[in-house]
Amino acid sequence: MSLLGIEGMRFHAFHGFYKEEHLTGNNFVVDVYITAALENANETDKIRDTINYETVYAICKRVMNEQYDLIEKVAGEIISHLLSLLIEGDHLKVRVRKLFPPMPGIVDSTFIELEKIK
């Protein structure tokens, strides 16, 4: 098994519980980790034998362009769409962080991390 990771995908998006967040937006960071049998790519050097990073990014971007109240929903939508790239037994982990969320004090970020096995 191999671990494929894409870390630090940054988006300005309009997810949030508060009305103001839907208007002004916030900055988010998305990390995706996929554990899958990608060893053939070591031998063939062909993109067809791995998971295309650009496809993963495009899916994340598409979900981030939607609008949801909760980052839990955002992460769930990303997982739901990424599962189509995987085969049975593959493992997927997605972390969505909201930077400097509206809180009554200084908070660097909040995050949700979801995992799924196909």
Q: What is the DSSP string of 53-103?
A: HHHHHHHHHHHHTS--S-HHHHHHHHHHHHGGG--TT-EEEEEEEEES-S-
| Catalytic residue of the set 93, 98, 116, 118 | 98
Q: Which residues contact 46 (CB under 8 A, 6 or more apart)?
A: none
Using alpha carbons, select from 82, 53, 60 the residue that is nearest to residue 15: 60
User: Could you tell me the two tokens for 39?
Assistant: 């060893």
Q: Does the annotation mark 98 as catalytic? A: yes
Give catalytic residues, as residue numbers. Answer: 98
